[in-house]
Amino acid sequence: MPHPLEKMHKYFFDWFEDKRKNDGLYYSVRKKNKNDMLSLGCIFLGTDYIAIPLVNHRDCRHRTASVQFVYGGNENSYSIEVVSRNLTDPKYKDSVEEKEFCKKVAAFIELFYEYAEDNGGKVLTSEKSEMFFSRDLEPEDIGVPLFVAHQKQHRPKKNEYQAKLFFNETTPEAALDKFYAFWTKRGIGYWKDYFESAASTVNTINRSLAKIDHSLAQCNWPLEVD
């Protein structure tokens, strides 16, 4: 299975489409063709990574998806990420809705901790989390099947919280199996009552697919899905 980033878009699209059709999994795709990314076949968010939104909520400033599956651009970086908005922004610091969402995010991060520890993983210390995000540690250096790396106020101008639950595998197949086990056992149920709408719809996906230039795209994308 090829690992060049442009081909991984197709790989993840096929996997998520299979889960959507057979299991009702909701996910989202790139909606705007900025810098002709869709024309090149980059159907998901990201430039040197791939991000696949799982809920219908985004960061207020830079439209970062609040809960998403992330492929980090190398063969051993697969995770589910959660971020929250920055409440120091005067526009949102008095918002009851945003405060409640931040509480929801903080509790979801606790689920990350519990799930990792219940399945042979661990939570990295602040020092090791910093080393991991700065690339001084690679996933294979951690030595456990699941681990959580987290940052608080990691980018103060963008988001207040970020945490990632990493599925420490060397193949996308194994990592996706672990991701789906967590998402179906813990994630979907946790967010089900909070969000009233899905991350995406077939119409949204088809609008993005229609913008792909097949003469430029790295993969043979379908014209539409059903």
Among the listed ranges 101-110, 128-137, 153-162, which one has the minimum average pLDDT value?
Answer: 153-162
- 70: which strand partners? 51, 79
Q: Are residues 151 and 72 located together in one domain of the fold?
A: yes
Distance CA 194, CA 104 (A): 9
Residue 80 domain boundaries? 55-196
With a pLDDT cut of 90, the percent of the chain lying above it is 46
Q: Nearest 5°: CA angle at 64, between 165 and 136?
A: 45
pLDDT at residue number 132? 87
- Does 151 lie in the same domain as 83? yes
Which of 100 and 174 is assigned the larger pLDDT? 174
Same domain, 111 and 169: yes
- Residue whose C-alpha is closest to residue 95's, from 160, 188, 191, 192: 160
Q: Which residue has the higher pLDDT, 176 or 104?
A: 176
The predicted pLDDT at position 154 comes to 47
Identify whether residues 64 and 131 lie together within a single domain. yes
Three-state DSSP class for 87? Answer: coil
Residue 71 sits in the same domain as residue 181? yes
197-206 burial, b for 16+ CB within 10 Å, e for fewer? ebbbeeeebe
Closest by CA to 41, choosing from 224, 218, 225, is 218
- Tell me the average pLDDT of the chain: 85
Q: 41 and 60 in one domain?
A: no
Instruction: Specify whether the CB–CB gap between 34 and 62 falls below 8 A.
Output: no
Round to whole Å and give the CA distance between 63 and 60. Answer: 6
Does 172 score more than 90 pLDDT? Answer: yes
Give the confidence band of 1 by pLDDT, cuts at 50, 70, 90. Answer: very low
Is pLDDT of 153 > 70?
Answer: no
Question: Which residues have a Cβ under 8 Å from the Cβ of 85 and sit 6 or more positions away?
Answer: 59, 60, 61, 92, 98, 101, 102, 159, 160
**Would you state the torsion angle of the CA atoms of residues 131, 126, 47, 11, taken in this order, to the nearest 10 degrees?**
90
Shared domain for 90 and 19, answered yes or no, is no
Q: Which of 44-53, 68-77, 127-136, 213-222 has the highest mean pLDDT?
A: 44-53
Among residues of the chain, what percentage have pLDDT more than 70? 85
Residue 145 sits in the same domain as residue 181: yes
Answer with the residue of higher pLDDT: 159 or 168: 168
**pLDDT at 175 exceeding the cut of 80:** yes
Predicted pLDDT of residue 216: 84
pLDDT at 93: 66
Same domain, 173 and 220: no
- Number of independent structural domains in the chain: 2
Strands (E), the chain: 50-53, 67-71, 78-85, 122-123, 146-155, 159-167
Band of residue 20 on the pLDDT scale cut at 50, 70, 90: very high
How far is residue 209's CA from residue 146's CA, in Å, rounded to a whole number?
34
* pLDDT band, very low/low/confident/very high, at 215 (cuts 50, 70, 90): confident
65 with 151, same domain: the answer is: yes
pLDDT at 197: 72
Type of residue found at 37: M
When mean pLDDT is compared across 2-11, 57-66, 95-104, 157-166, the lowest value belongs to: 57-66
| Domain identity same for 127 and 67 | yes
For the segment 119-134, the average pLDDT, to the nearest whole number, is: 90
Please state the rounded mean pLDDT for residues 115-142. Answer: 90
Q: How far apart are CA 87 and CA 96, in angstroms?
A: 10
Confidence at residue 54, expressed as pLDDT on a 0 to 100 scale? 92
